[in-house]
Structure 1
Amino acid sequence: MAVQVIPYLMMNGNAKEAIGFYGKVLDAQVLFLQTFGEMPENPEFPLPAEAKDRVSHATIQVGESVIMFSDIFPGQPHQSGSQVTICISTTDKDKAKNIFEGLQQNGQIRMPLQETFFSPAYGIVTDKFGVTFQIHTEEDK
C-alpha cells in the first residue's frame, strides 16, 4: 500500500496558463491533462459552454515530485491565495476511508467519500484547522 501527499492547486480558469508557466520555470513535464469537456457527460448537471475548456484535472512532474491542478467550476467561489489543497492518494480503499473519517472529526465534509468515474473512493474534507484535503484512491494496477 502506497500513500502520497500531493499539493493540489485550484485555479480560477487559468490552470492551463499556470501549467505552462510552471513547465517552463520548473522544467516540469505534463503527465496528465483533462478538461471538463473531455469528462463523461452527466445529464443531471449540464456543462456550461464556458467550462468545457477548463482543466478538470492535471498532473505535472517536477523532478521526483508531482503537483496536481484543476480549475474551479464556473460560479464556484475562489479566493486567490487559498487555492492550495492537499491530495492524499492511496491504493487502499480502507486506508482512504480511515483517513477521511479521521480528518472529518470536527471538520466539514465538502464531498462525501464515494465512488466516481476516476476513483473507487474519492472525497473532499476540510479539517478542524481549516485545511482542505482531497482523498483519492487509485485503482491497484
Structure 2
Amino acid sequence: MKQQITTFFTFQKNNAEQAMNFYVELFDNSKIINVQRWGKDGPVEEGKIMRATFKLNGDLFMCSDSPPVHDWDFTPAVSSYIECENESELINLFEKLSENGKIMMPLDNYGFSQKFGFVEDRFGVSWQLNLQ
C-alpha cells in the first residue's frame, strides 16, 4: 500500500475554517471533503474544526483549530510552491494571498525564473509563486 503524504495546517487562532474556505475558493479544482467539529464539551469553542480534509487543485490537505496554544506557529521555511501557468494567474494569486499578509519577495525576476514572488498570507501560511 502506498503511503499518503498530506500537508496539515495547525491553526492556533481558531481560524482554520476561514483559511480552508479561502484556499478552496482561490484555487481551481478544489473542494472540502470532510469536516469534524468540536462539540460543546470540547477544548475549544463549539463548532471549531477538530480535523478537516480538503483538496487544493487536486492535492490533499488537512487542517485543525489547535486547542493548546503552542510556542511555535507557521514558518516561511516550509511553504507551498505553485508553478503558475501564466502571468495573470501569478499576479491574481500573489495579490489575493498577500492581501492582509506579508510580501517577503515582491514579484520580480530573481535570475532563477522569469517571475517569482514569496508571500505569507493573512493566516501565516507561506506561498512561493513562480512563472518559468
Q: What's the TM-score, normalizing by structure 1?
A: 0.46
**Greater relative contact order (CA < 8 Å, ≥ 6 in sequence):** 1
Q: What's the TM-score, normalizing by structure 2?
A: 0.49
